[in-house]
Every structure is written in structure tokens, then in C-alpha cells.
Amino acid sequence: MNAQVSTPSVVKNAKRLVVKVGSGLVTNAGLGLDHDALTGWAEQIARLRKDGREVVLVSSGAIAEGMQRLGWTQRPHALHELQAAAAVGQMGLVQVYASCFRSHNLLASQILLTHEDLADRKRYLNARSTLRTLLDLGVIPVINENDTVAIDEIRFGDNDTLAALVTNLIEADTLIILTDQRGLYSADPRKDANAAPVTDGVAGDPYLETIAGSTGSAIARGGMLTKVLAAKRAARSGADTVIAWGREPDVLLRLAAGERLGTQLLAQQATVAARKQWLADHLQVRGRITLDAGAVKALLTDGKSLLPVGVSSASGNFERGEVVSCMDEAGREIARGLINYDYADTCRILRTPSSQIEAKLGYIDEPELIHRDNLVLL
């Protein structure tokens, strides 16, 4: 990773883009909605649309705008206050975006999501269908986390994660994260004068997480680390990521023209099927099971299903059909999958050959604890 090797622009040939803009940019560091910035991004997205590209915009800013309207200078910690700020700020945010896109004869749509929306298979598919229909109609989807109703258990945590999940959801080619930094650096450039820019990298490289650190602010929840992790997540569906300075003049148009700006993180692993993306990224884990060495080999090397005979322990009050983490004996998570038996029955058939499941339970749903079609390796 220390050697910088310039690679061609991943945006130039991308047809479907997810563009994420953070709170600091949208609200001019908390001073209120930056109308000039929003107008500029809308104009650039309109030109990308004319070039035949599809663009989904993931925008932070509702809570920050609500704070400004309410006269709050510090981001509150109480959930009900955050929800109230979001309710106030979302009104202004969507009004400005609608106006900006209307000036280019484009319709904008508002989509508010929570993790729960994407954790439910039916709602996940509905969200994907809605987004694809909007893109087919030439409408610009503007997506934000539904902070007004989100609770700690179902929060995405930051809109970088949300943008990556949307990238997976619509199978976008590239995720562009616009931020208040000019990309990823070897150290925080605001604190270290010797920090060097990282122009190229591989999404998922642990080195990137090490140098990214955790640098949030009083306005935004995310930092550079969340952007690096978002790139890793987006790569699961084969999408590359660009992290660039949001105030760079015509940043989206220049990236689309092939100019290299900021940090480019390439997706190098094989694309995961859409259903397995959902398993890995969208469903909440409800329990964990520990596999012996033979079962680990069966999953990682042989491509087999998981049988109860290879499982030594289970924890969590999970139900049949929920997602569990599959751990090796060292405690490393190697896979996730939809389990065929609830926690109580799973415990009863640990170390049991499939031929003896019915004798122990009085019934048999499936001979596998997790079928390989319902399992994704991590």
C-alpha cells in the first residue's frame, strides 16, 4: 500500500452512480444549508443525466439543518432530540433539493430508509424496485436515513454506510463520497503536516482502516474510517469507490470525464450475488454458532452446506430463518447464513448427524443447519 500506483478513473465508464454528500458540506459546517453547494451538485447531476448516466444522491444534513433552525450549536446525544432535529431539518433539505433539480427540468424524490427497511427481505426488494423505477423515469432519488423514527438498534450509524448499502441495493458501478477532505491521507492532514495523500488503494485493505482512524465532528457522525469501511462494503457488489473533496469545482463532471481526484479504492473481489449481499450486509445477526475445523473446511474449501454434526455450540435467542454468524474455534467470523432451526432445537442437534435429526426432534425440516444457498462467506 505504501507504493502509489495511478490507475485509470473508475468513474469515466460508470453508468450507474451513487453520490454521497456529508453534513459538513451540505450545511457549510453547520451554518445552515449551503444553497450554492446544493445548486452546484444538482447542476452537475443534471449534466450527468443528459450524458445517459443514472445517479442516486445520498445526502446527509437533516439533523444539522434542524440544529441550525432550532439554534443548537452542539449535536445532542438524546435520541428524541436528534429525531426532533431531523424532523425540522428534513423539510428544508428536501425543499431545496426539489427546487435545485426543478431548475434543470428534473424531478427529485425523497426516500427515507432505516436499517429495518433493508433487513426485511420483502421491504428490501420493494426498495430496490422503487429505486430502479425512479431511475427509469429519469427522477433523481434523494436518500437519507430516516432519523425521525430510527432508534439505536436499527440505525445505519452514518450515511457513508447507508450509501454503500444503496450501492449494493441497486448494483451501482461506482460510489462517490464527497467530503470536506481531499481524500484519504496517511495521517490526519489537519493534525500532521507530513500526511501524504493516498491516491489509490484496494477496498478492504486493512492498512486503509489503520490510517483512516476515527475523525468525526460536532456536526457529522462519520469520519474517514466510515468512508473506508463503506468502500469495503460497496466492493461486495463489485462497486469501486472514490473519496473526493466536495468543494472541488465541477468535481462530479471532472471525475466522469476521467480526471483523477481524491482517493480511488478498487473492488477486486468477485461480485457477490444480490441475495447474498442482502445476507451479508442488510440482515441483522440474531445469534452465533461455533464450527469445528471440519465444518470450516467444508464451507471455505469445499463449498458445502453446514450440517449440525460440525457445530459445537450456539448462542442467541434466534428463530428459524434468521441470520446467525458462523465462527471458527478461534472466534473469527467466517460466514453468515439463514439457519433452518431455532436456538432451542439447534442446541438439541449439536454434533448430530443429519440422519438422526428426526429422532432427536421428532421432526426434520432440513438435513442442513444452513444450506449453502442461504450462506455467504466473509
Q: Are residues 253 and 315 in the same domain?
A: no
Q: Are residues 187 and 98 in the same domain?
A: yes
In degrees rounded to 5, what are phi and psi of residue 101?
A: -75, -30
Tens digits of per-residue pLDDT, 106-116? 999 999 998 77
The type of residue at 89 is: G
- Which residue, 238, 271, 304, sits at the end of a domain? 271
Q: Are residues 119 and 74 in the same domain?
A: yes
Domain that holds residue 297: 284-377
Q: Are residues 72 and 144 in the same domain?
A: yes
Tens digits of per-residue pLDDT, 93-142? 999 999 999 999 999 999 999 877 887 778 888 899 999 999 999 999 99
Report the number of distinct structural domains present in the chain.
2
Residues with Cβ < 8 Å from 321, sequence gap 6 or more? 338, 339, 340
| Residue 51 exposure: Cα atoms within 13 Å on the Cβ side | 18
Rounded (10°) CA dihedral 157, 223, 6, 14? 40
In a domain, 278, yes or no: no
Q: Are residues 176 and 298 in the same domain?
A: no
Q: Are residues 28 and 131 in the same domain?
A: yes
Tens digits of per-residue pLDDT, 53-82? 999 999 988 888 888 899 998 888 888 898
In a domain, 235, yes or no: yes
Q: Are residues 147 and 222 in the same domain?
A: yes
- Which residue, 271, 293, 312, sits at the end of a domain? 271
Q: Are residues 248 and 312 in the same domain?
A: no
Tens digits of per-residue pLDDT, 179-227? 988 999 988 777 888 889 999 999 999 999 888 874 444 444 458 899 9
CATH code of residue 167: 3.40.1160.10
In a domain, 10, yes or no: no
CA distances from 283 to 9, 115, 322 (A): 33, 8, 8
Tens digits of per-residue pLDDT, 290-328? 999 999 999 999 999 999 999 999 999 999 989 999 999
* DSSP code of residue 235: G
pLDDT at 358 over 90: yes
pLDDT at 218: 43
Q: Are residues 44 and 149 in the same domain?
A: yes
Q: Are residues 147 and 188 in the same domain?
A: yes
In a domain, 5, yes or no: no
In a domain, 352, yes or no: yes
Tens digits of per-residue pLDDT, 270-289? 777 777 877 777 788 999 99
In a domain, 276, yes or no: no
- Which residue, 271, 302, 331, sits at the end of a domain? 271
Q: Are residues 118 and 185 in the same domain?
A: yes
The model's pTM: 0.80
